[in-house]
């Protein structure tokens, strides 16, 4: 992320009015490899191809704030791999982390991993170390520590259905698992922060919170997310949940979140109301139906509708309702930018 982009991001979070409204996208392996003309496997296994794909996006769309910026990741496998999850890789598809818990009693046998040595986290750090000089030469800095959230990691370790069921049938064991994943994530984020002194932001991604009712959210998600976000003194505390976001929106301030990316099924005015206009919002046109599969005119129409719905455009970064999906063409991103401007 450039210094100019970082300053714009902070200005939005602090409630300053910016014209035109900034454009930002979360970009990573679902979109970047295909758009850059390389395989997904090459994107993960070649540090040079990873860097060149990210740099190409930055150079081609300098108007856009790309978040978190040069994201070193291995799909959903990074954190589960540290717990011993088997990672399955495909040439043109996202990898998958297999379960390590086949019955609830096995939660008691699980041990907290060390992000310095276990699984893929050390490779994530090394990628950033190796390419930090090139990233900075291009005018960018490593500004974010990034991690999947505690429920997201737990759902990979146990299986989503099994974990959600355990929240109701075995709440003590589910909390034990969440306690372990949360403590590991704090260790992992702390390692990133201590490795790169330029980090001043935190991005946590956890869609599983969107599958919970309010009582389960307050009991099983809020305490752990709050602990993670409030463990770090950073300027940007960014939460992504593009499943149902209404359950968590009223609690974002309590969690310590000041930037939220959510499902396009919720409108920007609705989220402004639920967050008391105190949290910056990243959204919110449909990801696949419009940005990926629609025409440039569809994109422009969606942007116009989003802007027309807002009486107040402070604390808004226009984006899609989630991360950039696979298959978004260059012309649709151009249409997005031009419609905003």
Domains and CATH numbers, the chain: 3-340 (3.20.20.210)
What proportion of the chain, given as a percentage, has pLDDT over 90? 100
d(CA 286, CA 294): 10
Q: Are 238 and 257 in contact (CB under 8 A)?
A: yes
In which band, very low, low, confident or very high, does the pLDDT at 200 lie, cut at 50, 70 and 90?
Answer: very high
Taking only the tens place, the pLDDT of each residue in 247-303 is: 999 999 999 999 999 999 999 999 999 999 999 999 999 999 999 999 999 999 999
Find all residues with CB under 8 Å of 293, minimum gap 6, and list them.
327
pLDDT of amino acid 23: 98
- Average pLDDT, stretch 49-63? 98
Encoding tokens for residue 163?
A: 């974990």
Taking only the tens place, the pLDDT of each residue in 186-195 is: 999 999 999 9
- Average pLDDT, stretch 297-318? 97
Find all residues with CB under 8 Å of 275, minimum gap 6, and list them.
249, 250, 252, 253, 260, 281
Please tell me the pTM assigned to this model: 0.97
- Average pLDDT, stretch 201-220? 97
pLDDT of amino acid 115: 98
In which band, very low, low, confident or very high, does the pLDDT at 87 lie, cut at 50, 70 and 90?
Answer: very high
Evaluated on CA atoms 123, 124, 125, 129, the torsion sign reads positive
């Amino acid at each position: 992320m450039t210094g100019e982009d970082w300053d714009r991001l902070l200005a939005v979070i602090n409630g300053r009015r910016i014209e035109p409204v900034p454009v930002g996208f979360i970009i990573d392996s679902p979109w970047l490899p295909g758009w850059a003309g390389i395989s997904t496997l090459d994107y993960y296994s070649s540090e040079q191809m990873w860097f060149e794909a990210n740099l190409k996006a930055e150079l081609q769309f300098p108007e856009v704030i790309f978040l978190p910026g040069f994201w070193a990741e291995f799909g959903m496998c990074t954190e589960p791999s540290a717990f011993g999850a088997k990672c399955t890789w495909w040439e043109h598809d996202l990898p998958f982390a297999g379960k390590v818990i086949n019955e609830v009693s096995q939660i008691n046998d699980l041990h907290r991993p060390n992000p310095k040595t276990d699984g893929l986290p050390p490779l994530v750090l090394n990628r950033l170390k190796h390419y930090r000089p090139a990233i900075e030469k291009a005018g960018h800095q490593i500004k974010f520590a990034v991690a999947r959230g505690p429920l997201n990691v737990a759902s990979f370790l146990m299986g989503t259905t099994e974990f959600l069921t355990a929240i109701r049938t075995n709440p003590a064991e589910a909390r034990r698992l969440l306690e372990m994943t949360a403590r590991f994530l704090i260790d992992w984020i702390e390692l990133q922060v201590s490795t790169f002194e330029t980090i001043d932001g935190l991005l946590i991604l956890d869609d599983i919170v969107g599958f919970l009712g309010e009582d389960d959210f307050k009991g099983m998600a809020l305490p752990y997310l709050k602990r993670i976000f409030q463990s770090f003194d950073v300027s940007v505390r960014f939460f992504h949940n593009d499943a149902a976001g209404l359950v968590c929106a009223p609690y974002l301030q309590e969690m310590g979140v000041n930037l939220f990316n959510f499902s396009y099924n919720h409108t920007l005015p609705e989220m402004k109301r639920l967050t008391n206009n105190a949290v910056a919002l990243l959204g919110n046109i449909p990801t696949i139906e419009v940005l990926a599969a629609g025409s440039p005119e569809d994109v422009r129409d969606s942007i116009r509708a989003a802007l027309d719905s807002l009486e107040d455009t402070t604390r808004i970064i226009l984006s899609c309702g989630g991360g950039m999906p696979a298959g978004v063409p260059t012309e649709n991103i151009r249409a997005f930018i031009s419609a905003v401007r």
